[in-house]
Amino acid sequence: MNSKISELRTKALSVIEQAADLAAIEKARVDLLGKKGELSAIMKMMGELSPDERKELGALANQLRSDMEQALEQKKSVLAAAALEQQLKAEQLDVTVPGNPLLTGAQHPLHKVLDEIKEIFIGMGYEIVDGPEVEYDKYNFEMLNIPRDHPARDTQDTFYVTENVLLRTQTSPMQVRTMLKGKLPIRIIAPGRVYRADEVDATHSPVFHQVEGMVIDKGVTMGDLKATLEVFAKRLYGENTVARFRPSHFPFTEPSAEMDVTCFRCGGKGCSLCKGEGWIELLGCGMIHPKVLRDCGIDPEVYSGWALGMGLERVVMNKYQIDDLRLFYENDLRFLTQFN
């Protein structure tokens, strides 16, 4: 028995020393110290010995167990340190290597130009107002001097929810809502999404955006309107921009006009963008009709005002020479990244 314990010691220390990894150490522990291991087999044979022999050999076996456990732990620590070092070498980073480029977002061209428009009008003392996209017929048409039998309704292609509720066809209802509050003077712009039953093509969409503007005060004239819009055009498109006004007709303004600006591509000389005319239509405007003021509780004998309305998509298409409105809504990164 004494020789068996001595032989096991020699074998165990050799096996532990030769273990190449943590898996080999675990196998050695099970083979040497497990319930079916070699040391347990020796301990089972001690029942055949005398009490004195069991005492002597038991002490030797316990010492061997302690020595093997200590050797296993030491070897395990060495192998764990080596494995960690190998892992760190495999995972180390070269901080001098250039990183992957990060793709950053950018404003959508519609929002980008809308922010410019807001800044221009805010700088001139205007407030920005917002309102519901699901609107009453009363605010969208009737109080803007467009009764149910008015021919202008035929050109609106309106989405009706009920007989008296609709998806707004313009942001003009916000002008009415603001006038009804009775707080004068008024100087606002009302940007927002609007809806019309148009077929989708290069210049039409059932969903688009408008920016309405309105000023009401004592002594407001058509000259104030023209001066304001000329300042707006120059700040949006550049100081060399020239504006012209053509007579037009809108039910809620009288007199009415449409404003053109010099073509941004050719500077007014004539090109394919402006169809050789040198001018691009930008917006409609005019003096607010006295009936509209009166219906909103404002005395047209004391107060006067003007209003404007522009399609945001048209303004952006003119500014960036975009020829297809659908590009704004297709989310094509090849198009959108040009505005970074």
User: Could you say which architecture CATH assigns to the domain 109-339?
Assistant: 2-Layer Sandwich (3.30)
- pLDDT over 80 at 272, yes or no: no
Nearest in space to 139 (alpha carbons), one of 312, 305, 292? 292
Cα–Cα separations (whole angstroms), residue 260 to 5, 18, 118: 107, 91, 20
Nearest in space to 211 (alpha carbons), one of 229, 237, 184? 229
**Mean local confidence (pLDDT), 188-211:** 91
> Does the reported pTM lie above 0.75?
no
What digits encode the pLDDT tens for the residues 7-48? Answer: 777 777 788 888 888 788 778 777 777 776 676 766 666 666
Domain-by-domain residue ranges, the chain? 2-91, 109-339
Residue pair 209/312 in contact by the 8 Å Cβ criterion: yes
- pLDDT over 70 at 1, yes or no: no
Strands 127-128 and 186-195: parallel
Cα–Cα separations (whole angstroms), residue 327 to 166, 192, 209, 313, 316: 27, 19, 14, 10, 12
Report the Cα–Cα distance between both ends of the chain, in Å, rounded: 85
What digits encode the pLDDT tens for the residues 283-339? Answer: 999 999 999 999 999 999 999 999 999 999 989 988 888 888 999 999 888 898 888
Q: What are phi and psi of 24, to 5 degrees?
A: -65, -35
Residue pair 194/168 in contact by the 8 Å Cβ criterion: yes
Nearest in space to 119 (alpha carbons), one of 241, 232, 262? 232
| Predicted pLDDT at 46 | 65
| Predicted pLDDT at 49 | 64
- pLDDT over 90 at 168, yes or no: yes
Return the minimum-mean-pLDDT range out of 48-62, 63-77, 107-121, 230-244. 48-62
Which secondary structure element, helix H or strand E, spans residue 175, and what is its range?
helix 173-180
Angle at which helix 38-45 crosses helix 22-33, to 10 degrees, equals 10
Three-state secondary-structure class, residue 312: helix
Work out the pLDDT band at 240, boundaries 50, 70, 90.
confident
Please name the residue ranges forming H helices in the chain.
2-18, 22-33, 38-45, 51-91, 109-123, 137-140, 173-180, 222-237, 290-295, 312-320, 333-336
**Mean local confidence (pLDDT), 240-256:** 92
| Predicted pLDDT at 54 | 66
**CA 254: distance to chain centroid?**
42
- pLDDT over 90 at 229, yes or no: yes
